[in-house]
Structure formats: C-alpha cells, structure tokens
Amino acid sequence: MSIKEEIIKIKNSIPSNVKLVAVSKTKPIEDIMEAYKAGQRDFGENKVQELLEKEISLPKDINWHLIGKLQTNKVKYIVGKVCLIHSLSSIKLLDTIEKEYSKKNLTANTLIQINIGREDSKNGIFIEELDELIDAIERSKHCKVKGIMTIIPKGSDEENRYYFKEVKKIYDNLKERKFKNISMEILSMGMSNDYKIAIEEGANLIRIGQGIFGKRVLGGNNNG
C-alpha cells in the first residue's frame, strides 16, 4: 500500500477524537509530502537536527511534534518551531525550556514522558519523580503541560495493555487533582504495532511511523 493509502486506512479505523501523528524520522521529504497531500498535518521527529532540516523545506502549516529525548543544549533551536514536546522528563530540561522560551516570550506546550516499564534504555521519569516535577511546573511561566506520553516495553498484547492501563491511571489521577500550568488533554501512547490496544485503553494521540512509511532502513531507533 502507498503512504496515502496507509494514512487513509488508519484514519478510517480510529475514532475521530484520536490524533494521528505520522512519525517521519529517517524518511525523506518526498515521503512526508505524499502524506501531506493525503491531508496529514501532524508529523513526529525524534532528532532536533533532522526536524529543523525538514521544517525549513516543508509547508508551514505542518505541526511538528518532538517525540525523542531532548538534550538541554538543543532546546534553543526548537523554540517557535514545534507544536508539542512529548518528552519533558527532568527539572533540568524544564528549566532550560523556561529559559529559552522566555527569551522569545513564547510558551512551550509539553507532555510529561513517563518511563512506565522502568527501562534503562528509555527516556522518561519514574512515577515517584512525578510530584517533584509537578512542583517545578507549577512555578513555571513559559511551559505548559498538556498531558502524558509513554513508550512501553516490547511485549505481548496483554503486557502492552497492562502498561497502557497503568499510564491511563496516572493520567486520570492528574486530571482529577488540579495543578497550575497542567491540564490533562493529551494521552500520547501507541505506535504501529500496538495503537489499537492503546486507543482501547484511552490514548487520544497515536504515533505511527513504519505503519505509514514502511520499514526504517537507516537505523532509526524506537527508544525515544
């Protein structure tokens, strides 16, 4: 199937309240344009450099999502260029976002990334680190949190469902408690192989790469 057909198929199979982010990492401009022509406007990249190179040569009405680990020294380059940072995962990063966005008097929209499987290889905070990060976010002036993002460990459907449920519990809990600068609107979970289960468990943003663009040959990693 073509990129266009894959996008149409996925869009027709998901509820209308679920946002599809097409993960275009390692894929060329032509592939992104094909998706764009099929109506796709939200794209995800995991590397700052690659995102910027694509952003500059593609239509300005694309919403860019930064889905990979964000190094503090790269924050300054993305100010005003991305609609959502999915990988807020430390107070140090929050402080840098605060500093760089305040310089341009802009506000960053972010998701807290939770490392639900407690994997060394993955970015994100552990649940017990959440309260401290929330305290810092409440004091922030240029950073808003719009929800939660997670990348679950590789596993069976049952294991996937378990982790998605755990993250949904955290999301619901934060939604009930009211914090300054924090609203729970976006639950970003589910990729090509598990997005259907993620949606069943409450995801309203899914990030799909290979399921749209085909296999990544150039060593794109899934570890965000």
47 binds ligand PLP, rule: CB under 6 A = no
Task: Provide the pairing of β-strand 108-114 with 143-150.
Answer: parallel
Residue with tokens 């649940």: 127
Q: Is-contact 62 36, C-beta < 8 A?
A: yes
With binding defined as CB under 6 A, does residue 26 bind ligand PLP? no
Q: Alpha-carbon distance 46 to 68, whole Å? A: 4
211 touches ligand PLP by CB under 6 A: yes
The one segment of 28-36, 56-64, 88-96, 208-216 that binds ligand PLP by CB under 6 A: 208-216
Smallest separation, CB 151 to ligand PLP (Å): 5
Quick one: which of 67, 82, 93, 111 contacts ligand PLP (CB under 6 A)?
A: 67
Q: Which residues, including other chains, have CB under 8 Å from residue 133's CB and lie 6 or more apart?
A: 88, 90, 91, 94, 112, 125
User: How many residues bind ligand PLP, per CB under 6 A?
Assistant: 15
- Using the contact rule CB under 6 A, the part of the chain among 32-40, 103-111, 131-139, 207-215 near ligand PLP is 207-215
Using rule CB under 6 A, residue 153 touches ligand PLP: no
Length of the chain: 224
What is the end-to-end Cα distance of the chain in Å, rounded? 27
Which residues contact ligand PLP (rule: CB under 6 A)? 23, 25, 46, 67-68, 151, 191-192, 207-211, 222, 224
